[in-house]
């Protein structure tokens, strides 16, 4: 391919820049932005997009402004702390990463307090207030309160890219590999959605477009992004970074979706260039939410349960129960207060304390079951009966019979089973709980034939019982309820390491563990009997 002479290329670049500069001034004029004839780069920090303080200039009551910001900052911190307290109460304090946003807001509070302690009305004080990131952080939190299953706020995702060579080939040298990152403001939907909040005004996007050399182009090709992150940071660059972070991440075998929330830009922008940018972001497969579709933010106390991780699982109409969940349904720990005994092991004592704060059946398992059909494999039922038969209390053994239709209870109808079960618990048993659980025989060879190639590696890592449970749920597309988080994590890791396409592994809903309390004779000095 013939090369373009340097002087011709320089002339072409100059003409292009001139056209872009003229287009920039036209776009700025449409938005009532004035300039002295030159394009001055605006600050690219969060602060410049976050500050929604008045732009009127000189007639500012700095003291009133500072006090208002201080109050907003305190409210934000208070709501974050309410959410943290709720997560701790639910035993989920390690499931959601809130520290990054809280630390940033605390830093803003220190700046505001410092300004108030001096003279907030002097030029330096007002400048400090105008440079605040507070409005951006408030916008992030307001958006988060309308989400579900929050896993993290202001979390960084990293990956390695490769710098292009000057001849447009891609370098394979380790020295040319560059660590890239994108910050996701809200990781929600239990990890399956990445949300970025932008408080940009249209004029700020125009500035960024001018710096990147895109303003004035009617061609989508002219607005293509470079793979080089050394260029000016703009909203398109952020969108591409979010998309790349999503493609580098899998949550329960799926890539998270991406949503960009523009709190100060309408669906139909004044500027043609901004409209093109929004459309380009949509064309990437990113959901764009503009100011018309932003609802009022609720008080955090009204939405705590929805915000907590674990609130977004979509369950199937048939639930596959593993042995750990069968045990949880019959354990004395799950059905009322159990007095502490000196022969209780550490696991029992821990579960007693957890149950006292959050009763598993009323708060988690029964609401999940609703009127869904419940099934388990023969192997899971057999192992559960073995454990109950060896260490179960009389009440635990009777619940086992009612749960699985044993010892003559199979002749009882659902209403009769529930009536007797109510005599064995301190809690209100839901009327739509479908007992007994259906016990199914599984043909492992037949199940494997319907599953992806990674099933062989998964099978090798599982015990006979777990193989029957998780392969049965996987092959039939049923949600499997399990307290065995270690096995669930191992299955996911094996599938990710051996995937050949976008196959999805077994859908596993995790819950807390409850062991059988058992009798002193069998429990004292004995190791915990685990359903493995």
Q: Mean pLDDT: which of 274-283, 308-317, 319-328 is highest?
A: 319-328
Q: Which range has the worst mean pLDDT, 131-140, 167-176, 229-238?
A: 167-176
DSSP three-state, residue 147 = coil
Backbone dihedral angles phi then psi of residue 100, each to the nearest 5 degrees:
-60, -50
Indicate the pLDDT class of residue 382, thresholds 50, 70 and 90. very high
Query: pLDDT per residue over 417-466, tens digit each?
Result: 999 999 999 999 999 999 999 999 999 999 999 999 999 999 999 999 99
DSSP three-state, residue 290 = coil
Does residue 522 register a pLDDT over 90? Answer: no
User: Which two structure tokens, joined as six digits, stand for 64?
Assistant: 């009133």
Query: pLDDT per residue over 76-125, tens digit each?
Result: 999 999 999 999 988 888 999 999 999 999 999 999 888 888 876 777 77
Predicted confidence at residue 482, as pLDDT, reads: 95
3-class DSSP string for 356-400:
HHCCHHHHHHHHHHCCCEEEEEHHHHHHHHHHHHHHCCHHHHHHH
Q: Mean pLDDT: which of 113-117, 328-332, 406-410 is highest?
A: 328-332
Q: What is the CA radius of gyration of the chain?
A: 30
Indicate the pLDDT class of residue 228, thresholds 50, 70 and 90. very low
Q: Which helix (H) or strand (E) holds 30?
A: helix 6-30
Starting from the edge strand earliest in sequence, which strands make up the sheet with 257-262, in order? 152-162, 177-188, 193-198, 257-262, 287-289
Which residue ranges make up each domain of the chain?
44-161+175-216+231-305, 313-523
User: Which two structure tokens, joined as six digits, stand for 479?
Assistant: 């949600």
Predicted confidence at residue 83, as pLDDT, reads: 97
Indicate the pLDDT class of residue 530, thresholds 50, 70 and 90. low
Mean local confidence (pLDDT), 200-208:
84
Does residue 161 register a pLDDT over 70? Answer: no
Burial of 297 from C-beta contacts in 10 A (0-12 / 13-18 / 19+):
middle
Q: Which range has the worst mean pLDDT, 21-30, 286-295, 378-387?
A: 21-30
267/434 Cα distance (integer angstroms): 48
CATH architecture of 313-523: 3-Layer(aba) Sandwich (3.40)
Does residue 51 register a pLDDT over 50? Answer: no
Backbone dihedral angles phi then psi of residue 365, each to the nearest 5 degrees:
-70, -45
User: Which two structure tokens, joined as six digits, stand for 132?
Assistant: 């605040």
Mean local confidence (pLDDT), 209-224:
56
Q: Which of 284, 250, 315 is nearest to 499 (CA)?
A: 250
Contacts of 524 (CB under 8 A, 6+ apart): 343
- Is the Cβ–Cβ distance between 142 and 291 less than 8 Å? no
11/325 Cα distance (integer angstroms): 73
Q: Which of 202, 206, 211, 198 is nearest to 41 (CA)?
A: 211
Average pLDDT taken over every residue of the chain: 81
Mean local confidence (pLDDT), 279-294:
94
Indicate the pLDDT class of residue 39, thresholds 50, 70 and 90. very low
Predicted confidence at residue 526, as pLDDT, reads: 46
74/64 Cα distance (integer angstroms): 15
Q: Which range has the worst mean pLDDT, 49-63, 104-118, 208-222, 495-509?
A: 49-63
Does residue 390 register a pLDDT over 80? Answer: yes
Q: What is the pTM of this model?
A: 0.77
479/339 Cα distance (integer angstroms): 34
Q: Report DSSP letters for 148-191, one per residue.
A: SS--EEEEEEEEEEEPBPTTSPBP--GGGEEEEEEEEEEEEGGG
Does residue 324 register a pLDDT over 70? Answer: yes
Does residue 50 register a pLDDT over 50? Answer: no
Predicted confidence at residue 26, as pLDDT, reads: 52
User: Which two structure tokens, joined as six digits, stand for 107?
Assistant: 């830093």
Does residue 165 register a pLDDT over 70? Answer: no
């Amino acid at each position: 391919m013939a090369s373009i002479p340097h002087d011709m290329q320089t002339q072409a670049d100059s003409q292009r820049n001139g056209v872009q500069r003229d287009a920039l001034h036209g776009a700025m004029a449409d938005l009532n932005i004035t300039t002295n004839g030159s394009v001055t780069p605006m600050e690219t920090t969060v602060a410049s997009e976050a500050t929604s303080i008045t732009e009127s200039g000189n007639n500012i009551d700095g003291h009133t402004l500072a006090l208002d910001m201080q109050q907003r900052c305190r409210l934000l911190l208070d709501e974050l702390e309410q959410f943290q307290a709720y997560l701790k109460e639910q035993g989920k304090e390690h499931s959601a990463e809130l520290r990054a946003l809280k630390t940033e807001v605390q830093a803003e509070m220190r700046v505001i307090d410092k300004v108030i302690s001096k003279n907030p009305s002097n030029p330096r004080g007002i400048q400090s207030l105008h440079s605040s990131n507070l409005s951006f952080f408030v916008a992030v939190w307001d958006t988060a309160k309308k989400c579900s299953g929050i896993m993290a706020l202001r979390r960084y995702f990293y990956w390695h890219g490769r710098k292009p060579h000057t001849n447009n080939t891609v370098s394979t040298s380790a020295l040319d590999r560059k660590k890239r990152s994108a910050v996701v403001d809200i990781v929600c939907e239990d990890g399956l959605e990445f949300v970025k909040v932008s408080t940009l005004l249209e004029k700020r996007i125009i500035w960024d477009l001018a710096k990147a050399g895109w303003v004035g182009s009617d061609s989508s090709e002219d607005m293509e992004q470079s793979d080089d992150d050394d260029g000016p940071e703009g909203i398109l660059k952020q969108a591409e970074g979010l998309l790349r972070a999503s493609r580098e991440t899998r949550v329960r075998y799926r890539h998270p979706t991406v949503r960009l929330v523009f709190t100060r830009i309408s669906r139909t922008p004044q500027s043609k260039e901004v409209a093109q940018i929004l459309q380009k972001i949509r064309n990437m497969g990113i959901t764009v939410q503009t100011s018309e579709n932003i609802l009022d933010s609720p008080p955090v106390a009204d939405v705590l349960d929805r915000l907590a991780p674990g609130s977004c699982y979509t369950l199937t109409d048939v639930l596959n129960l593993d042995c750990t969940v069968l045990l949880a349904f019959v354990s004395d720990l799950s059905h009322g207060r159990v007095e502490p005994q000196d022969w209780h092991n550490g696991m029992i004592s821990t579960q007693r304390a957890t149950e006292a704060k959050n009763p598993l059946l009323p708060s988690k398992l029964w609401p999940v079951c609703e009127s869904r059909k419940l099934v388990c494999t023969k192997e899971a039922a057999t192992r559960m009966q073995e454990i109950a038969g060896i260490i179960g209390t009389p009440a635990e053994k009777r619940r086992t019979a009612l749960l699985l239709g044993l010892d003559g209870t199979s002749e009882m109808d659902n209403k009769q089973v529930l009536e007797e079960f109510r005599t064995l618990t301190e809690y209100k048993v839901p009327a739509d709980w479908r007992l007994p659980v259906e016990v199914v025989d599984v043909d492992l060879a037949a199940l494997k034939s319907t599953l992806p190639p990674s099933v062989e590696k998964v099978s090798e890592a599982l015990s006979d019982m777990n193989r029957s449970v998780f392969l049965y749920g996987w092959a039939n597309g049923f949600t499997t309820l399990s307290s065995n988080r270690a096995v669930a994590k191992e299955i996911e890791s094996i599938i990710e390491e051996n995937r050949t396409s976008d196959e999805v592994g077994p859908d596993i809903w995790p819950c807390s563990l409850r062991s059988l309390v058992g009798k002193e004779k069998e429990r004292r000095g004995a190791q915990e009997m685990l359903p493995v």
